[in-house]
Structure 1
Amino acid sequence: MAPDIRGNLRSVLWGAMTATPITLMSLASCVSYAQLIKPSPLSPGYFAAASFFSAGFSSLITNRMSHCPFLVTAPDMTFTLFIQSGQESVMRATAHLPEDVQIATAFVALHVGAVLLGLVFCVLGKLRAGAALNYLPYPVIAGFLAMIGAAVVKGAINIMRLPSGAYDSVGMAIAAGIACVVLGLKQKGVPTNMSSPVLIAGSLGAFWTWVCASGLSLGELQSQGWLLPPSDHASSPLDMFKLDWSAVDYGKILPSVDALALVLVASINRALTVSAIESSVSDESYSVDDEMSFVGFATVVGGALGGVAMNPTSAMTTLCKEGATGDALTGRFTVAIASSLHLLLWASAFPLTSFLPRFLLAGLLMVMGGGMLVDWAYLVTRKLQRTGVVVIYAMLFVSIYTDMTHGIALGIFLALCFMNVQFSKLEVLKYHVSGMHFRSGGSYTDAQRGILRKYGDMTQIVGLTGFLSEGGAISLTKYLNEVVRSSDDLETLVIDCAACQGVNDSACFHFGKLKLMCGKGSVRLVFCNLNPYDEEKLRSWKLESESCKIVGHLTEALESAEQDALVQGHAPCAPIGVQSEDGEAERQELAQWLGADAASELLRLASLSTVPAGTTLSTQDELADRVYIAIPGHSDVQVEVRTGTQVRPAVLLRTTLGAICAPESLIGSHVRGTWRARSQSVVLSIGGDSLQKLLRRKAFAPVVSAGLHQQLVQADQLSALYTLSKGGGWRGVTFDASTSGMVNSTALEDMGPRLRRSYTERIPQEQTGAAKTEVQHHSDGHLSPQYDVAAVLDFNRFTSPNDYHSDGHLSPQYEVAAVLDFNRFTSPKDNDSNVHFAGRMRSQSVDDVLLAGNGGPGVVESLPNLVLNSYSVSQSSKRRPTDQRQRTLSELFSDLEEV
């Protein structure tokens, strides 16, 4: 027991030492704030005594109910202003009534206001709305706190008013000097809660030393204005609980509208204080809303008994934790001792206000109010935008020349206006490309690609980002209207909402206006990738019609537009042929695609079969044991790649021109995408022993070549999708060579980020693609248009030579992040590279290749380390059977030599 006793004594000793400056600060605040509650039927002496009792009792019960053992409550400026507003309304309402009625009504109104304030805190905590108060715009919160500081400074100046109506200039200078010293030390890193007690003790010592030396009496000091006049009411501590209930006018005890407006400020202050204490003082994390409820209940109890609501103070709570050295028990003892000192002073009925000079009370108020003004009206402006500074100073000046209620209303109004303006400037345009440079992933013949290149501008795709509300929707529809008017060949306008976070009713209304605009111009409007809720909203606005469609995916919209372009170009896609009886038609298609020898070998290895629409030929991430060869002209297949948790996988390739479904199985790797039959298709299914035989036949090279070409096409499509995804936000909009003229659109000036110095000074990235393309700048290195461009998408593969200078540089005069060029695999000449490669492989005798492997300069020796992997990196634990081990090219050609 002895160590426990010594530990408790140590906690009590440290608690007493820490409680002394806390009590001194709190008592000075009680007396100072009591002088601000004017006019009121109750005297400042009564409010000081009630504050002593409330501070002691409220600190005790609040600390016991709080999650933080160091929590200390004290008078708060926002609560004092709420009390002052309520008492002023009672004074006005009962001015014509007898004095005893005024006093009794003001007494009940004081307690009702405190209880009401505590109930509001409890309700906010129970509704989990305490933290929601932090979502008010930061400039408005700063304006609230600056207004409070200004009100405190005004109260300090009023304290220095003499009974004659004049101001005590000497006392005012001393009070200002005290405030300047404390605030100056604060800027040097000395906390206010450290410098204020020393200054209070030093000022009191110096003042009463001068009084003793001069021989002035209390009456003379009061008449000269050094001390406050004596209280007009009884000073017995129990008198504050005595009341003639029959004299109360119950119709005038509720707070006025002005006072209720201050409840919002008090709630914000309480929420901010509780949150600050939880994050910076408490050792354990706890719910801010639960703390609001508990502390609110303590406010109800303390306010019902004492009448003056107290608020937790982060400064004194921090001092309590530092003095207690972080020990919870010492912190509890500290608060208990400080509460006992408050209650002892209240019970003794010592007239403390009669011994505190005016300049000291005014100086303390100036310290508190001036500190808030410095923090929230000066220092905070260094990190705010101009609109935020305007909000703060507008609220501040209105509150000074009128009252805080008008300042609060003005602040909320200005914040809403500026917030709406800022929302209207948000970037909602992610990319804008044309059908010439962005495709659905479908595979077409050379003639069809030429038609799509010719009629590519008939389709334009606009990707959206962010949330579409009033301002953003107006800017977007203005831009889209300009697109429709300036594009003579436009027939389909696709709106991709995959990155859009939502739309509201105002955006739906503006989309309706866009629909009418497109209808007049014979332009079909298509929405895709809509959230189910947003899709339902658009349908409720009756947007869907013959001229306006809502489809599920972007690929679906692009495929429809491409089919329309091919029909207009008299080169529609041929219907899928059914399986022939003798297989000759399929043999000819295979021969034209892979070569006659390869076609014959493949048909000997497997027989033709027809799979119904929707059949899954291979599944992503699985280790396939067979390969499907889709017959050109007799099949319609696509590959879907699931790159994340999206419901709709990305369709990177769809073709009717033949495909090697799951070419990864040829090298023993996991399938990178799910191959699926879009319609009834004729395929060759090669697996088991047939697949092993294929690895040793001449057909292996053209099949691998075709599979490699498919991977290149998928990589192109994936790169284009990646480029589009990088648009939006601070990067700006992604355009292509066809839509880049819209970069100078006046509609873009109404939304999106302006040119930032940090952005324009970045080193432009090099081109990604076959050839490096330098980005053209003006002589000063800056962009001509006042808008950011994320990238210029040049993935059409049919870019006209007119789009480039003679030196190969891109013509548009604006900064880009990347210029993507996919001419390697998509021009009519290079598109048949797989056939040419296969032909070259077929033209060379296998014996020649094998002989080259025996010492001659051939393929095998030039690639001695090339291994056909039997497993993927992501699923290395899944192995093929031992008869399907990994094989090097040397082994394969050795087997072929044996054959």
Structure 2
Amino acid sequence: MFGVLAGIDGLGTSIAFAALIFSGPQAAGLAAGVSVMLVSCVILTLYVAWRSCHASSVAQVQETTIAILAAAVTAAVGSMSGGSADRAVATTFAILGVSTVATGVLFYALGRFRLGVLVRFMPYSVIAGFLAGSGWLLVDGALMMISAHSNLADILLSFSDPLVIGILVPAILFAGVMSAALRLINSPFAAPVVMVLSVGLFYLVIAVAGIPLETVRSWRWLPEAASGGGFQLPSPLTVMTHADWSAVLSVTPVLVSVPLIAMAGLLLNISGLEVAAGTEIDANRELKIAGQANLVTGLFGGAAGFTGLGMTLLADRLRVQGRTAGLATGLVMALALPFATELAAGVPLFLAAGLMLMLGGELIHDWAVVTCRKLPPLEWAIVLVIVASIMAFGFLSGMAVGLVFAIATFVYTYARLPVIRFSASGRDRRSSTDRFPAANHLLAEKGELIRAIELQGYLFFGTMEQVVRAVQRLLAAETAPRFLILDLRNVSGMDSAAVAGFTKIANMARRQDVALILSPAMPLVLQVQQQVDMSGDDQSPVNLAPDLDHALENAEDRLLQQFGCVDEPGDIAAQLVERLGFHPRLPDLIRTMERLERPPGARLMAAGEQADDVFLLGAGRVRVQLTLSNGRSLRLRSMTAGAVLGEVAFYVGGMRTADVIVEERATLFRLAGDTVRRLEREDPTLATLVHRLLASSLAERLALANRMVQLASG
């Protein structure tokens, strides 16, 4: 039963497609065109049913590519300088065969190299616009079939002809009834019954009216009967020798676009089928199967096709088991092959035109009207622009206009995405270097003279302007920075316009005597530095840093040097006074500490050991690092004179979480846990000084962390 239903549907659309393509100068090929369309359907249906990973798949010749090919055939035949009807027919089959073979090659190549995901890179709005535009081409083709004119103005003028109205009105009524039946009647019988009843009613009317078939054909209500009758296929040799290949080449852009549109249609159908059926389908395998079927079909001069979503879902709803859905459909259409010519000659023109009107109207409704509720206004505007361009200028020009508009919209939208991930002054964004209190106070006071900007995403001519404008505003401010850090760690790439933008920033920094620091030292940043060096007349203001932390440390060191804050406190007593203020018991506190001298490279603390002491760094420099699983060391912090080490783990009473390595010869003062506990029992005043010392260090780090959180959340 399903095979009969789907077979009648395939037969009706095959006749309609053939009537659409083989109209005008190539009308003599209608009978062969119907045969070719049916053969295409049979090959596609049987092969896909045999090989598809979705057992109930039913393949069809697709209307979207037919609409484009009909426009291409009209343009190609129109460009031929004279020639017989046979030459026009051969050229038409050549265009069909070449486009279908190209579609098969593209399908198979994408599936073979597992590139089915490529369709995800095609903007949805562009696909929707092309499909809606294909719907207009079907409507336009139907009007051409009815009026026998190719120009829209001539088509409109022909509506004053009663014979044209005699075809147009029934075609519109048929399209409306068919569309309503498909939408309102949830039955697989709807479409076949409407088609059969329409044909029966047509013949009943002309029989009651006593109108001879010859008169009906002269009024173009029925196509001219082809000579010979029966099943007809074009000879490949005849097509090769008689086709006007210069005319075929003249529509090369269309022949290129057909496989691309078909690819998008197939993958969209597969995605829809996955959602509807709740199963996962291997898109690459389906591409290869459809490619092989189209290669065979193309050798017969047939039309491209692939798995149809609607008919496959119908088979699933009817619970047709296994591969019998496609096999039964193919068998029914194969049984109709010997009668293809008679069937083509007996189907009223209003039915073929009405089917095209219905299919075209459905495409326009689904992809140009319904998408209004699915797409943002700007993307929906792309759909409308593509449809309007196809209507006004034809498919090729419309496709070009649509792509240009889509690209411009994409650039506009992407250029508005923020590429500045983070922007902070040196007061809020500090390096991981712990410094003595005077240095920290100076950095807190003068930190606005350091500005760090983290960039993200892909930098091109649209997004780079954001960065240039942000730097211009910073350098024009009343308190312009003296050190500008640009961190490109999260930048995925850039074009030449972005590199030129960095050169512009470097020139602005040079004019205002601002030091520019780039990080990290990766190939992308080295390329920028090289370009800046080539553009400058004097020494480049660009410095490189391994990462953002080192860049901040470099800027802080240079800022401290500019303000003369480079001398560390001379002894431990001076450091304690800076942290705690003057107290008469400070000498006693110092005497409770153990003085240690450690050379560069010495390990002061090790991750995993028990934390039962704290250290005050009197002189030198140490590095807090973490050893990763691959053996590489990651620097967490650097500490200079005046820094307190190990107070967090000491208070928590747990294990050390990182290693502490001496970078420069260090003088340290160790305060053991036993000593602190003894002071708490015997000397509360000294114990209070110890806890004030540790708390002041924790408070400084907490305040800096809070500023970072506030800045990130703002």
- TM (norm. structure 2) is 0.85
Separation in structure 2 between the aligned mates of residue 592 and residue 249 of structure 1, nearest angstrom: 96
Please tell me whether residue 707 in structure 1 is matched to residue 701 in structure 2. no
Contact persistence 1:618–1:662 (CA under 8 A): no
Contact persistence 2:181–2:191 (CA under 8 A): no
Separation in structure 2 between the aligned mates of residue 30 and residue 192 of structure 1, nearest angstrom: 22
Aligned to 2:348: 357
Separation in structure 2 between the aligned mates of residue 591 and residue 445 of structure 1, nearest angstrom: 11
Separation in structure 2 between the aligned mates of residue 307 and residue 47 of structure 1, nearest angstrom: 8
Aligned to 2:562: 568
Alignment-mate amino acid for residue 538 of structure 1: V
Separation in structure 1 between the aligned mates of residue 688 and residue 645 of structure 2, nearest angstrom: 12
Alignment of 1:613-762 (within 5 A): 613-619=600-606, 622-632=608-618, 634-637=619-622, 639=624, 651=636, 654-671=639-656, 674-684=659-669, 698=683, 702-726=689-713
Alignment of 1:186-201 (within 5 A): 195-201=190-196
Contact persistence 1:57–1:343 (CA under 8 A): no
Alignment of 1:813-828 (within 5 A): none
Aligned to 1:539: 529
Alignment-mate amino acid for residue 140 of structure 2: K
Task: Report the Cα offset of residue 624 of structure 1.
Answer: 2.5
Secondary structure class of the residue paired with 2:414: helix
Secondary structure class of the residue paired with 1:721: helix
Task: Report the Cα offset of residue 704 of structure 1.
Answer: 4.4
Higher relative contact order (CA 8 A, sep 6+): 2
Alignment-mate amino acid for residue 15 of structure 2: V
Secondary structure class of the residue paired with 1:433: strand
Alignment-mate amino acid for residue 372 of structure 2: T
Separation in structure 1 between the aligned mates of residue 633 and residue 465 of structure 2, nearest angstrom: 30
Separation in structure 2 between the aligned mates of residue 191 and residue 615 of structure 1, nearest angstrom: 82
Deviation digits for residues 336-393 of structure 1 (CA, Å, limit 9, x no counterpart): 1110111110024461123322222222211111011112222212343443333222
Secondary structure class of the residue paired with 1:43: helix
Q: Name the stretch that deviates more: 282-291 or 103-112.
A: 103-112
Alignment of 1:272-351 (within 5 A): 272-276=267-271, 279-280=274-275, 284-305=279-300, 307-324=302-319, 327=321, 329=322, 332-349=323-340, 351=342
Please tell me whether residue 413 in structure 1 is matched to residue 404 in structure 2. yes
Separation in structure 2 between the aligned mates of residue 535 and residue 194 of structure 1, nearest angstrom: 66
Aligned to 1:56: 42
Secondary structure class of the residue paired with 2:54: coil
Alignment-mate amino acid for residue 655 of structure 2: H
Contact persistence 1:281–1:321 (CA under 8 A): no
Please tell me whether residue 148 in structure 1 is matched to residue 134 in structure 2. yes
Separation in structure 2 between the aligned mates of residue 138 and residue 57 of structure 1, nearest angstrom: 30
Separation in structure 2 between the aligned mates of residue 503 and residue 724 of structure 1, nearest angstrom: 27
Deviation digits for residues 58-113 of structure 1 (CA, Å, limit 9, x no counterpart): 21012222222111121212332454356446635765445555555654554344
Task: Report the Cα offset of residue 119 of structure 1.
Answer: 1.2
Alignment-mate amino acid for residue 144 of structure 1: F
Q: Name the stretch that deviates more: 32-41 or 687-696.
A: 687-696
Contact persistence 2:489–2:519 (CA under 8 A): yes
Deviation digits for residues 229-264 of structure 1 (CA, Å, limit 9, x no counterpart): 323x43332554585589545855855324324325
1:234/1:269 CA distance change after superposition, 3 Å: farther
Alignment-mate amino acid for residue 36 of structure 1: L
Q: How many residue pairs align between the two structures?
A: 693
Alignment of 1:816-895 (within 5 A): none
Alignment-mate amino acid for residue 26 of structure 1: G
Separation in structure 1 between the aligned mates of residue 515 and residue 40 of structure 2, nearest angstrom: 72
Structure number with the higher helix fraction is 2
Contact persistence 1:236–1:349 (CA under 8 A): yes
Alignment-mate amino acid for residue 72 of structure 1: V
Aligned to 1:735: none
Aligned to 1:757: none
Secondary structure class of the residue paired with 2:552: helix
Aligned to 2:13: 29
Secondary structure class of the residue paired with 2:664: coil
Alignment of 1:126-141 (within 5 A): 126-141=112-127
Deviation digits for residues 726-748 of structure 1 (CA, Å, limit 9, x no counterpart): 4xxxxxxxxxxxxxxxxxxxxxx
Secondary structure class of the residue paired with 1:525: strand
Alignment-mate amino acid for residue 169 of structure 2: A
Please tell me whether residue 77 in structure 1 is matched to residue 63 in structure 2. yes
Task: Report the Cα offset of residue 153 of structure 1.
Answer: 0.7
1:197/1:678 CA distance change after superposition, 3 Å: farther
Deviation digits for residues 378-417 of structure 1 (CA, Å, limit 9, x no counterpart): 2212343443333222222222233201111111111112
1:258/1:571 CA distance change after superposition, 3 Å: closer
1:104/1:601 CA distance change after superposition, 3 Å: closer
1:307/1:66 CA distance change after superposition, 3 Å: same
Please tell me whether residue 263 in structure 1 is matched to residue 269 in structure 2. no
Separation in structure 1 between the aligned mates of residue 629 and residue 139 of structure 2, nearest angstrom: 59
| Aligned with 2:485 (options 494, 512, 524) | 494
Contact persistence 2:436–2:643 (CA under 8 A): no
- Note the residue ranges of structure 2 that are not aligned, 5 or more in a row: 150-154
Contact persistence 1:115–1:300 (CA under 8 A): yes
Separation in structure 2 between the aligned mates of residue 267 and residue 644 of structure 1, nearest angstrom: 49
Contact persistence 2:31–2:232 (CA under 8 A): no
Deviation digits for residues 502-556 of structure 1 (CA, Å, limit 9, x no counterpart): 43332111101110111011111112346x2422332342459551112123333
- Note the residue ranges of structure 1 that are not aligned, 5 or more in a row: 1-16, 578-584, 727-790, 792-899
Task: Report the Cα offset of residue 479 of structure 1.
Answer: 2.6
Contact persistence 1:104–1:244 (CA under 8 A): yes
Alignment-mate amino acid for residue 566 of structure 2: P
1:510/1:90 CA distance change after superposition, 3 Å: closer
| Aligned with 1:520 (options 511, 518, 521) | 511
Task: Report the Cα offset of residue 150 of structure 1.
Answer: 0.1
Separation in structure 1 between the aligned mates of residue 501 and residue 46 of structure 2, nearest angstrom: 59
Separation in structure 2 between the aligned mates of residue 656 and residue 507 of structure 1, nearest angstrom: 42
The two structures, once aligned, show a CA RMSD in angstroms of 3.8
Contact persistence 1:608–1:683 (CA under 8 A): yes
Separation in structure 1 between the aligned mates of residue 540 and residue 99 of structure 2, nearest angstrom: 63
Aligned to 1:508: 499
